[in-house]
Amino acid sequence: MEIFPGITLDAMEAEIPIVELKPKKGCPYGEVVFMGDFHVGSGHFSEKQYLEYVKWIKENPTVKVVLMGDYVEMGSLSRYGASEKQLASIQLMEIVRLLRPIKNRIIVFLEGNHEERFWRATKGTESLTEIIAAKLGINPLMPGPERGQLFVIRIKYKNFVQNYPVYAIHGATSAVIRKETQLKKIFENLRASLIAHAHIHQIFKDHKTYYAVRKLNDKFYLTCHEQHWLTTGCFVKNLGYAEKKSLPITKIGAPIVRFYYDKEGIEIIDDPRITYNIGIKTDTKAGGLSLQELRRITGVGEPKYDLDKIVREFGRRVKWKERDLSSK
């Protein structure tokens, strides 16, 4: 352990949850996908690319998922309503359908600024992630609106064990040009093995190397450490306001992080198309499948909307006037 003087917070604040990660078969590491910024309902969400990831996750039973926020558009609650193509209630039904096949892999469920629109519209009485989690029947780590989640990933194999502190937050920075400068500010507030940030719709990684003092078997050693951070991409094409502002475009997708058990090491795969062949149209096993085939293989099924059922299930929670732009 590293040795740093400090003040312990009260017990409730100081306790950090531990997530157990199993190694991938035949590999010295386990894998976690950091995915978010779907913007379901915007008309720009790439369901096919998302389902390529779902297919890969289902094929690899040890993979865990951290959801980074902005799952739905909720444009009717903002000035960006022109980007919305589905009723807010349908967006809720859609994200439940899309997450159901991987629901048991989700370890962290963050809220983004688009979910916070719902929270503000209900005057802080309703959390969209709590509603979605209840529909899925899961209980992942959910810090709630405007919060990040600090947790420890523990990976063990035989006599090996490694613990990796991870901090994930949707964030609100608009530093899409000089993100490497702006996002490094997080380093000044928290020392963790990995810091993951969403919101800017780009996959970007960097790291910092530093010395620290470590205690091993009652002796102290000077050791070299690395701290990684990344931004976690998106599954949406440029939204209208992004195009209007000429913001940089990015490849659709999400980074995959390897946590090693036989050494203290993190490896960030920032383009899984190359490493895992996810979403590349080379053959029927990798990207050549149609959307309908992917829906069948992954188990998400075809969208089916019973508006009466939607009103019954979500109507009492919806406390704003929706705008149906689906025909525009």
pLDDT single digits (tens) 3-43: 555 565 555 556 899 999 999 999 999 999 999 999 888 87
pLDDT at 321 over 50: no
pLDDT single digits (tens) 135-175: 999 999 999 888 899 999 999 999 999 999 999 999 876 65
pLDDT (0 to 100) of residue 324: 41
pLDDT single digits (tens) 217-242: 889 999 888 899 898 989 987 655 56
For residues 68 and 198, the answer to whether their CB atoms sit within 8 Å is yes
Q: Where are the domains of the chain?
A: 27-314
Ramachandran category for residue 233: left, alpha or beta (phi over 0 → left; psi -120 to 50 → alpha): left
Percentage of residues in the chain with pLDDT exceeding 90? Answer: 43
pLDDT at 259 over 90: yes
Least confident piece of the model among 117-126, 175-184, 194-203, 308-317 = 308-317
pLDDT (0 to 100) of residue 173: 67
Output the 3-class SS for 192-256. CCEEEECCCCCEEEEEEEEEEEEEECCEEEEEEEEEEEEEECECECCCHHHHHCCCCCCCCECCE
pLDDT at 282 over 60: no
CB-side neighbour CA atoms (13 Å) of 67: 31
pLDDT single digits (tens) 176-208: 556 666 667 766 778 899 999 998 888 889 888
Token reading at 33: 């996908």
Mean pLDDT of 255-266: 96
- DSSP secondary-structure letter at 23? P
pLDDT (0 to 100) of residue 118: 75
Q: Which of 171, 177, 205, 213 is nearest to 189 (CA)?
A: 171
pLDDT level of residue 254 (50, 70, 90 thresholds): very high
Mean pLDDT of 45-55: 93
Give the architecture (CATH level 2) of 27-314.
4-Layer Sandwich (3.60)
Token reading at 37: 């910024």
Mean pLDDT of 312-321: 49
